[in-house]
Structure 1
């Protein structure tokens, strides 16, 4: 994602003992403009290319270096998760911003007033998860990806979200980029262990490919996809009833 590229660019500037003012001079921009770009950690691909060129780099160099970094999921504190669990609208705004939705798009989609955005953003700021900037722009300080504890305060909210995802995918028609896949087979625990390892490999591949897309493609070329992987022994007699009341 672009946030990682900007962290790398900061490292390059520090190594070369360059300031934002120095970079601004090379690009013939104002220092406040450069500071804003780095603060928001976002810019057009053409601007990113210009910054790289000014530093004698290519975007490919930067992406290659970013791909060598082992990205660990951000884990929130118990208190942060508890406070999000107590305030579902703030939690939902946090998820939308993590997903890359802009404040303007959120306002338009949910028909929210500026004051409501400010209030929710301020709540996230008090939790140490965001910063409310001028114009009620809300910038997350927690970096994606974020890993929530399955047994934590947000358990019920996460169950509801994931079950809704599974239900919607199950009910929708399969397409070339979306499908619900399920299969039940009798096999040994050793085979199940092998299959689970392969599924984890798919999860890692998805993460790596998605990260490359986020580093190299403009935001309007990206869409959020979610994968749910479940493999576990199943005992049908615990799930099925033979009474007339069963549904």
Structure 2
């Protein structure tokens, strides 16, 4: 008898330890592919779906991630307080206000990755760097009407193009823009995985076309050679 359980309900019945074991197996599989690609044991043409596999692995890891510990929550809160203390003391802080949420998200992401001490000097250094390096067109946030607020690097000002997030494309967001765009990391990774699958399909079609073209040229060359040989015999 077939089960009427949805996929989500079925997964809920699988022990977390089993799911983590499957994720570990997938990670090992991906690592094996990358190692063999580096030493040219595997062909890149045969592994064009690797980005999609890596994105799927990240989604699974995120789904199984443990919730933030109380210590991590306190650390994040302290960082936010320190961030805004530094922002208020920076020169021309009023001009930075439209970018504050985007700067906070990017600076916190970099801070978490480096695992630095939660001190004002390091936070100020990261903020100053991110102010200088903010990309043209960087997403600053989403308005109530769904259009995105972006950064004009030339004019050093925020602007709104009237483009909605679905038109801009979730896949075009940078990782540090997810928070200000209210997009979860799993949705972002899924968009990248879908794009990778599409690109793989296009590449496969291109390879097929190139293969057919090469076979056609080979066939024409053989016909031409046969014609030349026949002509020389008759002469």
Which category describes the TM-score, using the shorter chain as reference length? under 0.3
TM-score normalised by the chain length of structure 2: 0.25
Greater per-residue helix proportion: 2
